[in-house]
Structure 1
Amino acid sequence: MDSLITAAARALAAGDPLGALKRVALRDDAPALALRGIAMAQLGDLVRAKALLRRAGRAFGPKEVVARARCMVAEAEIALVSRDLGWPEKALEAARTALEAHGDRVNAAHARHIEARRLLLIGRLDEAERMLAGLDPTSLPPALRAAHELVIAGIAIRRLQARAARGALSRAGRAAREAAIPALSAEVERASLAMTTPAARLIAGGEQRLLLLEQVETLLSSQVLVVDACRNLVRCEERTVSLATRPVLFALARAMAEAWPADMPRSALVARAFGGKHADESHRARLRVEVGRLRAELRSLADVGATKRGFALDPHGGRRLVVLAPPADEKHAAVLALLADGEAWSSSSLAMALGASPRTVQRGLELLAAAGKVQSFGHGRARRWVAASVPGFPPALLLPGPLPGD
């Protein structure tokens, strides 16, 4: 490897893409193409970066397995940043295996981090954790240590483990300062906002207040019966009843929980669950059926009793009943939570991350766009969505993933 290629590689490792381009911008050999592609990716020109890396991959000979694998890892990282979550997993896995087999420990670890970050985005937390299990972060360069700790922090935040998240973010900050890469330090700072931004809203006794991540963790580990409107479930300690696929039942549970300890009138329940303005006899009949179903679902946690004017929840054991909701009322809060990372998402990747149908996500995006909360650019398959300035939607609670004890 000649001196210019070596110098360009060192510049990229230090987060200096312009310094790298000064050395290889006019060269078209395979190593220079690869370095130019990585430099363009660091500068944000992802389309050009992808094209250069593909050219480099084709230019390397069949015996240059390590170089081709490195190009594949770089292309996978571009796909991740572009939120192209449908990028082939097996290609990255094959590249990582090749790097490990040839002793390129650092780039193999980088490939593992990319895989773990993708798994984290789509809510597969256990798999992301297993992906990192074999890595010793102390043996990695500072930039990779910071990336490692950011993934650890992301897993802890999604599991509502505030102490573990703070520890990982602190270690990530130290590693980022040691790496002296401004973009990496900025990424750590953005991730740290999840610890100081309200993660949810507590509704109890007709009053509301915002909660930080630590407060949410404390609430869910207490003996309070929680109707969780962030994940559409009802839980108390380790017992959980998911109503994610039963929106009518969850709407009834939330309405009664917000009214607790009082009851909720039948007309109000009809409006919340069915959208009806007036509770006629057909609505009342349907309400009785749905309340019966809700009673069966919640029998291990609470009773659903009838009153003269409506229905009321009665938690077992005299427990307190609260509602945990997103920081602000928003029907498509989960979509906004994903877009809150500042990256440009395709609707198909949003659907993959949320576990929803592409058409459902597309309808939500159109409604959010009409309200001025998201913006799009591009057309067809190249269309991408970004969030407008919508405060109050940190991704801590709104993304898929199990709660403690699930």
Structure 2
Amino acid sequence: MDSLIAAAARALAAGDPLAALNGVLLREDAPGLALRGIAMAQLGDLVRAKQLLRRAARAFGPKQPLARARCIVAEAEVALASRDLRWPEQSLDEARATLEVHGDRINAAHARNLAARRLLLLGRLDDAHEALADRPPASFPPALRATHELIAAGIAVRCLDARAARDAFERAARAARASGIAALMAEVDDAARSLVEPAAHLVSQGQATPLTLEQVQALSSQQRLIVDACRYVVRDANRTIPLATRPVLFALARILADAWPQDVAREELIHKAFRTKFSDESHRVRLRVEIGRLRALLSTLADVTATKRGFALMPDGAHDVVVLARPFEDKHAAVLALLADGQLWSSSALALALGASQRAVQRALDALASAGRIEAVGEGRARRWMTSPVVGFATTLLLPSPLPNV
């Protein structure tokens, strides 16, 4: 490795892409192309970065597998930054295996971090935890340790484990300070705010109270029945009834919980749960059927009792019924939650992360764009969507992921 390449590599490791470019801007050899690609990625020109890294990988070729594997890992990082979630996992796995065989433990660990970050974005928390493996050794660079802890904190936040998230954020902050990279320190500080910002609202007898993630975690009690509108479940301290695949039943449970301890008129239940402005005998028959299904599912937690004018929720043993509502109620809240990271997302990447059809996501994007809440960059297949973060709210509970032990 010549002196210019070595100096550029040190500058990139310190987070100074401009200094790196000063030494390799006109280089067309494989190492120069690779370092230029990484520098362009750090400067935000992801399209140019991807092109340079692909040229570098081809230039290294099969005779230099270690250098080629490093380029593939760098390209995977660029793909993740540009939210290209369809980037082939197998290529990254093969590159990581090559790095491990050749003794490059640091870049192999970086490849594992990238795989875990992608799985976290997709809501595959168990897979992300497995990919993350154990805590990185102290001998690893501080920047790598900080990234590792950020992912661990993200997994803990999505699992509603506030204590584990706080510990991981503290370790990430120490590692980021040790790295001396300002952008990394800012990223850790920004992510850690999710622990102090309102993550949900507790609605009880018509009164809404904002809760932090730690307060959400401490909410469960044997004396409280929770209708969780963030995860679409009904639960107490010991039992959880998932209703994410039964939207009408969950809507009925939410309406009854909002009104508790009062009952709800049949007409109101029909209009809100079935989303209709009128009702006839067929709607009343359907209501009786759906109430029967809800009563059967909630039999271990509560009863749905018929009254003269409608139905009421009667918890078994619990002294209180509350609703855990999203930090802001919006039809397209999950799309906004993903866009709130400030990155450019394609509609296909959003569909993959949400487990929805691309057409449904496109309709949501069009509606949000018409309302002026998001904006598009580019045209055709190159179009990407972005928005500013939702100020004052953590988006954790807007994202699709299961509760622990569900």
SS at match of 1:317: coil
Please name the residue that 1:126 is paired with: 126
**Length-normalised TM-score, structure 2:** 0.97
Deviations, residues 351-401 of structure 1 (Å, cap 9, x unaligned): 111112222222211211122211112222222111246435522212122
SS at match of 1:397: helix
Deviations, residues 159-202 of structure 1 (Å, cap 9, x unaligned): 11111111111111111111010110111011011011100011
Please name the residue that 2:263 is paired with: 263
**Is the alpha carbon distance of 1:146 and 1:295 closer, same or farther for their aligned partners in structure 2, counting shifts above 3 Å?**
same
Deviation at 1:72, TM superposition (A): 0.3
One-letter amino acid of the structure 1 residue matched with residue 19 of structure 2? G
Please name the residue that 1:113 is paired with: 113
- Structure 1 segments of 4+ aligned residues over 6 angstroms from their partners: none
Asked whether 1:31 is paired with 2:35, we answer no
Deviations, residues 204-237 of structure 1 (Å, cap 9, x unaligned): 1111111000100001365421111112111122
Please name the residue that 1:243 is paired with: 243
Please name the residue that 2:373 is paired with: 373
| Alignment partners' CA distance in 1, 2:221 and 2:320 | 13
292-301 or 19-28, which moves further after superposition? Answer: 292-301
Please name the residue that 1:315 is paired with: 315
One-letter amino acid of the structure 1 residue matched with residue 316 of structure 2? H
Please name the residue that 1:295 is paired with: 295
- Stretches of structure 2 that go unaligned for 5 or more consecutive residues are none
Deviation at 1:241, TM superposition (A): 1.5
Q: Give aligned pairs, total.
A: 406
SS at match of 2:115: helix
Deviation at 1:282, TM superposition (A): 2.2
Please name the residue that 1:17 is paired with: 17
- For the Cα contact (< 8 Å) 2:116–2:128, is it kept in 1? yes
SS at match of 2:218: helix
**Is the alpha carbon distance of 1:71 and 1:129 closer, same or farther for their aligned partners in structure 2, counting shifts above 3 Å?**
same
Please name the residue that 1:202 is paired with: 202
Asked whether 1:399 is paired with 2:399, we answer yes
Please name the residue that 1:136 is paired with: 136
| Alignment partners' CA distance in 2, 1:390 and 1:195 | 15
**Is the alpha carbon distance of 1:279 and 1:160 closer, same or farther for their aligned partners in structure 2, counting shifts above 3 Å?**
same
Deviation at 1:335, TM superposition (A): 1.1
| Alignment partners' CA distance in 1, 2:22 and 2:222 | 59
Deviation at 1:95, TM superposition (A): 0.4
SS at match of 1:109: helix
SS at match of 1:226: strand
One-letter amino acid of the structure 2 residue matched with residue 86 of structure 1? R
- For the Cα contact (< 8 Å) 1:96–1:112, is it kept in 2? yes
175-184 or 379-388, which moves further after superposition? Answer: 379-388
| Alignment partners' CA distance in 2, 1:309 and 1:137 | 65
| Alignment partners' CA distance in 2, 1:27 and 1:268 | 71
142-151 or 273-282, which moves further after superposition? Answer: 273-282
Asked whether 1:92 is paired with 2:92, we answer yes
Deviation at 1:4, TM superposition (A): 0.4
Asked whether 1:48 is paired with 2:82, we answer no
75-84 or 295-304, which moves further after superposition? Answer: 295-304
- For the Cα contact (< 8 Å) 2:342–2:389, is it kept in 1? no
SS at match of 1:190: helix
- Stretches of structure 1 that go unaligned for 5 or more consecutive residues are none
Deviation at 1:311, TM superposition (A): 0.8
**Is the alpha carbon distance of 1:351 and 1:55 closer, same or farther for their aligned partners in structure 2, counting shifts above 3 Å?**
same
SS at match of 2:402: coil
SS at match of 1:220: coil
Please name the residue that 2:175 is paired with: 175
Deviations, residues 73-128 of structure 1 (Å, cap 9, x unaligned): 00000111111111100000000000001000110000000000001111111111
One-letter amino acid of the structure 2 residue matched with residue 52 of structure 1? L
Asked whether 1:218 is paired with 2:218, we answer yes
SS at match of 1:140: coil
| Alignment partners' CA distance in 2, 1:15 and 1:197 | 29
Deviation at 1:63, TM superposition (A): 1.5
Please name the residue that 1:230 is paired with: 230
